[in-house]
Chains A and B, each alone.
Chain A
Amino acid sequence: MTRPDYRYVPAGALFLAAAVSAGCGSRPESWDQPPSVQFALGLSGSVVVLDEAVHAADLMSIRPGFQMAQSRQPVGESVANVRSSPSGDRVFVLTRGRQPRRMPSDERPKLWVYDGKGSGQLLQTYELSEALNGLEVDPQGRFVVIYAAGDTGSFLDNPNELVIVDTQQPQREATETTLANPVTRTIRSYGGNPQRLTFTPSIQVPTGQRRLLVVECDEYLSILDLDNLDRPEITVKLSESGHVTPAGLTLTEGAPDNPDDSRIAVRAGNANSVFLLTLAPQTKQDAPNDFKIEVNIVGFSTVPSDFAFVNTDGGLRLAVLQPSVHKATLVDPQTSVTTDVDMPASYGRMAVVTRQVGEAPSGGSDVALLWGGASSTASGVAFWSLGKSVGQAYRSIETLPDVAASVTDIVDVPAPHDELKILVPTQLQGGAGRFHVLNLAQRTAAPLQTTATQLQLTVSSDGERAWFYQEGGYNVAQVDLLNLHPTPLVLDRPIWKVFEVATLDSPTPGRALVALHRGGTLGATVLNALVPDEAAATRYAAILQGAY
């Protein structure tokens, strides 16, 4: 018998091994990563969910028929902060990038800008040289300031450095005639850090209209001219002893015909003082800024809790609340003369509601809404008519009897129903907790009772509806803010967050409620927000499923 020829066996084995090894590829690593979602925001026309496990931003918009469309966009590693623009048309995501970087291709810290109106597009990125975690967005949506807020985790960082991004411009290097974008500024420091940043609206300064960035730091205040970022900031030291910490500011343009009396008031969080800063004409020829700051300090008997510039029957005043002594004080910013007004309760917060309130006083004087706030036990709310505050202070406070519970916060309702405010109670008593919808025009407060001990609240951007829900629960309720008709709904999965967004219907966009459910790879329930009916809901599951 002829013996078989085994010469071809090795070649065959090699061929087989090659075929096997060529086929045994692996899938993308992202399939092995369960979702890691910390941030979810509602925007004007979409909901954004950041899935950090796979470095993706999922932007979900609602198409006609309440069908959810999903756009997956890349996002950087290690998300530090997320903010939406006030109008919800964009969302800003600050990432630290890969830390430490080992390869040139390793990602740097970045600011990512996405469209929030429904296109789901990545609009712009700005590469940063340092990993920071603070993010403040201009109420007008133009500027974004990035800074070190608290512990950044960096080996070494400069807490007084601000990175100012003009989001209407792409990233660019500096030239002889233009500044870089983003532009980096280190504000003068007296040993403190930035604690709070405030973008002013366009305000009158002696040489014209300007937008300012006011940086409240420990012990001092810095003011940057956003229209002239090449100019140095103006720094105002609040105390020589170094024990005064700013706790909030308010501003006024003063008299319309006087460009020299715009003022910024700063209250101290740990001193019985308010600092009045007047934006006065510059007197030095070689000064880099075309206005200067004149400081006036007003003393009080206790630490102020809130304040606002108001028009009274005696003229422009700074109204300052001192809840611990049941008192408010009106300060004449020109002369620093004060007038005390006794309060029926220890109101700690105030808001000027003149434009929305009914029976507004004649003569242009203001009406302020007073409530307790988080640090006060004052019950209810009150209207403070400033048209008779100076001359008849004792008759100027009107307590609203409809609200008995203490109010910790007030949620504004956007126009066209900005006469409505939703009063959030300090504590919901089980079975008898009450929110109130305050109608400023009618000066009435209608209760909304709930059996829940904890509720989340979101108000639609068109001011028509409020949505109440309990995180982890199944209940969500719509309240029509026009007639206060509640529509309770029970969803079939536990609720994580609820957002109302505009749909992409054309020509008239509808409104959709998007309830996110956190289990697994995230689920969602989409409802017609105008006629909510859980039986007609569109349900989605595994919306973060898939590789990237």
Chain B
Amino acid sequence: MQRRELGLVWATAALVVASSSTAGAQQPNAPPPLTPAASTPTPEPAAPEAPAPASQPAAGSGTAPAPSAAAPAPSAAAPSPAFPPPHVGMPWMPPQPAPAQAAPEQDKPSGPTRDRSRDFWQVELGMRSMWIRGAGYDPFSTNNNLSEASIGGTRALVLLGPVSIAAGLTYESGSKDAQARGAAAKLSVHRAGAVGEARLHVGRDVYGFFKLVPQAVYTRASLQDDSVAAELVQKKWRFGADATIGCGWNAPRTLGAPHTTPEVWLTGELGYGWTMTEDVKMSPDVGESDPSHTIVVNTGPLALRGVMMRLGAAITF
């Protein structure tokens, strides 16, 4: 990967983390309430003017009806989960009652809060690896691998019980270079994609997902061949799409780290990347006044297609 691209990725990540930390500082002790009862362990007597419960289920969840002001408070020893227990064998942490210190929060007027195990903004940094078997990729790489840095952001838009649907944007960039018969060849790839992601939350720490990313792919192929003075270049836009399945794991929480905001997730996904096929027709990078501008070197059709995987770290808030 280019230093410039890496710098861009890290700078963006730093900005996101900084902004997320700031947001978390404004709500210092606000662990995501699982149920209304969890946030009201010591309910006051019912009163008509009583404020609304501190926590409402996220819009559209439909699984946890808002308790009425007169509803009996559930026992702290037997909390009721927000959604059905996970499958057998998966890590599962039962909802814990909020600590007693949270009680003063009751006094504060508070708006609706979110279940941040599902209802979150997510910013992800990662590395995408793709295995391209087409012969058109051979001039630019001694193997079939193309690695790209990946950064993306999503927002859960729809929550349907354990299922959430998120949308967002992603940008990926990488390059590969090799000697093609003694000539320096290089391929740079930039992808700007729209993310559509369906998540199945298995407890609070793990979710599986299916992700579809239609994208605009920009490629710059170049060849420095001594048979012509100028560098041979092709710049091309093409349409592409990724389809992956994967999972996210809130490892710190599983391993017992205290709740923080933002939360950190590890993500991994596997799937298939596809782009349109375009001939790599490179021409000297010169102006039209240069007679060599008419030269065209075609190294064959290039399609960035193949099995791909993406490993990353994400923060949610």
Contact = CB atoms under 8 A, between A and B. Distances in A.
Same complex: yes
Interface of A: 1-5, 16, 19-20, 22-28, 30-35, 53, 492-493, 517, 519-523, 535, 537-547
Interface in B11-39: none
Interface stretch (B57-65, B117-125, B141-149, B152-160): B141-149
Given A2-B92, A538-B294, A544 B181 contact: yes
Contacts of B91: 2-5
Given A1-B256, A492-B292, A546 B299 contact: yes
B131 A541 contact: no
A31 B141 CA distance: 10
Q: Could you tell me the dominant secondary structure of chain B's interface residues? A: mixed
Nearest to B94: A2
A541 B142 CA distance: 23
The 9 A-B residue pairs whose C-beta atoms are closest, nearest first, are A23-B131, A34-B182, A520-B226, A523-B227, A520-B227, A541-B228, A27-B138, A519-B226, A520-B225
Contact of A23 (B178, B299, B307): B307
B300 A546 contact: yes
Interface in B196-224: 223
Interface residues of B, number: 45
A27 B227 contact: no
Contact of A32 (B129, B179, B232, B270): B179
B276 interface: no
A162 to B, nearest CB: 38
Contacts of B53: none
B255 A4 contact: yes
Contacts of B228: 493, 520, 523, 539, 541-542
A519 B300 CA distance: 22
Given A5-B89, A31-B139, 4 more contacts: A24-B144, A493-B229, A537-B291, A538-B294
A546 to B, nearest CB: 6
Nearest to B270: A19
Nearest to A517: B227
Interface of B: 89-93, 129-131, 133, 135, 138-139, 141-145, 178-183, 223, 225-229, 232, 254-256, 270, 284, 291-292, 294-295, 297, 299-300, 306-307, 309
15 contacts: A23-B131, A23-B307, A24-B131, A31-B138, A31-B178, A32-B179, A33-B182, A493-B229, A519-B226, A521-B181, A539-B294, A541-B292, A545-B223, A546-B139, A547-B135
A395 to B, nearest CB: 59
Contact of B145 (A24, A517, A535): A24
Nearest to A539: B295
Contacts of B284: 541
Contacts of A25: 131, 133, 143-144
Most buried by B among A3, A27, A35, A544: A27
Contacts of B131: 22-25
A53 B143 CA distance: 20
B223 A542 contact: yes
Contacts of A27: 135, 138, 141-144
B288 to A, nearest CB: 14
Q: Could you tell me the dominant secondary structure of chain A's interface residues? A: loop
A4 B254 contact: yes
Nearest to B203: A2
Contacts of A542: 183, 223, 225, 227-228, 232, 297
Contacts of A538: 294
Contacts of A544: 181
Nearest to B131: A23
Nearest to B306: A23
A20 B142 CA distance: 15
Contacts of B306: 23
A541 B93 contact: no
Contacts of B227: 493, 517, 519-523, 541-543
Contacts of B129: 20, 23
Contact of B297 (A16, A28, A537, A545): A545
A33 B181 CA distance: 5
A537 B300 CA distance: 24
Nearest to A6: B91
A23 B92 contact: no
B180 A31 contact: yes
Nearest to B256: A1
Contacts of B225: 520-521, 541-542, 545
Nearest to B180: A31
Contacts of B144: 23-27
Contacts of B223: 542, 545
A32 B228 CA distance: 20
Contacts of A517: 227
Contacts of A537: 291
A23 B131 CA distance: 5
A517 B143 CA distance: 31
B90 A547 contact: no
Nearest to A523: B227
Given A522-B227, A523-B228, A540-B295, A545 B181 contact: yes
Contacts of B135: 27, 547
A545 B180 contact: yes
Nearest to A518: B227
A539 B291 contact: yes
Contacts of B294: 538-539
Given A2-B93, A35-B181, A26 B307 contact: no
Given A5-B91, A24-B143, A543-B227, A35 B182 contact: yes
A7 to B, nearest CB: 8
Contacts of B180: 31, 545
B120 to A, nearest CB: 21
Nearest to A522: B227
Given A1-B93, A31-B138, A520-B227, A541 B143 contact: no
Contacts of B292: 492, 539, 541
Contact of A541 (B133, B141, B297, B307): B297
A274 B109 CA distance: 126
B183 A520 contact: yes
A275 B225 CA distance: 58
A538 B129 CA distance: 41
Nearest to B91: A4
A542 to B, nearest CB: 4
